[in-house]
Amino acid sequence: MHAREQVQLAALLATHAPIQLRTMQQVSSNGLEQYWTSSKCRLDRWGLQLKAHRNVIQSASADQLSEPWKLITPVLEEIMISDILTRVWTSLCITFDHIHQTESAEPVARSVYIGHLEARNRALNMMVYGRGLDAESAVKLNRLRRRTERWTDMLLGYIAVESDIENLGHDTERVEEFSKDIREQKQHNFADAAWPLLLSSAMDAFSSSATNAVAHGDLNRKIAASIMSCFGPEMFDSTGVIRSLWEVRISNVADDAQGMVEELLSFEDPASVQRDIGISLPQPQQRF
């Protein structure tokens, strides 16, 4: 999964999840655990790759610098683009805990957010002070940074419409401006009409500004799946969510169910399993 697909998930969550959070009894502990594990693994990979890149460019000759930057660019892009989903999901977890007066979701999401913030700062520092980054690439990465920041603030504006929570945006005033505009759209019943446009724009906005190379598609997919598993199918049924994200959720739910069955069977003796599920287990054959 490319990081830009996570922007679509962030848009879906920002526009539809805040209301559903009020009726949810809990956020899936299994989903949160998977989110933390996959996110921490991705953070570790980022850290190792950024460190390796720094060591390479410090010792490389001038004519050897282009290749290391070509290899690290997908990682830098992924750090910046996936930051949108990280901030949106963290805001939603904070919202859930505030609504239900619990501390179940925020600590996990905030831990990942802090790690992502550190990775992003290292990436930006590398873009500014890294040796050998050509001007054209630097300009393109900076444009991507500005685009991700604006999208983050816009999506957080949707959440701010429904909940008065801590702001995790890049520009507080801009988040408030977006929130004000969104409230006006809702008052005039423009929100439903604007949703399909927002969903398609979420992909288009990053199609031309980022490379097609995927740094950590496996972990991006697991992170998206863990977040989606925290919500019921009704939210996705009503939004026309893109097929690839729906398949991610279905796959994750199926894996969870399979894991639960395997765990159940591992603690049961064959006789009790036979009684509970109503089937006859094969009997061992006599070989002699």
Domain range summary for the chain, segments of one domain joined by +: 3-274
Could you give the angle at which helices 217-228 and 243-267 cross, rounded to 10 degrees? 80
pLDDT at 273: 37
Query: What integer is the mean pLDDT of 127-153?
Result: 92
Could you give the angle at which helices 66-100 and 29-59 cross, rounded to 10 degrees? 150
This prediction's pTM? 0.80
Query: What integer is the mean pLDDT of 82-94?
Result: 95
- The rounded distance, in Å, linking the Cα atoms of 184 and 180 is 6
CA distances for 169 relative to 45, 84, 121, 254, angstroms: 25, 9, 15, 34
Q: Which residue has the tokens 């957080």?
A: 156
Which of 225, 113, 108, 106 is CA-nearest to residue 169?
113
Task: Report the range of poorest mean pLDDT among 2-16, 137-151, 273-287.
Answer: 273-287
- The rounded distance, in Å, linking the Cα atoms of 44 and 32 is 18
Which of 26, 12, 3 is CA-nearest to residue 239?
12
Name the average pLDDT for the chain: 80
**Confidence tier at 45 by pLDDT (50, 70, 90):** very high
Residue 215, C-beta contacts closer than 8 angstroms, at least 6 positions apart: 3, 49, 74, 75, 77, 78
Q: Is the pLDDT of residue 42 over 80?
A: yes
Q: Which two tokens stand for residue 157?
A: 């504006």
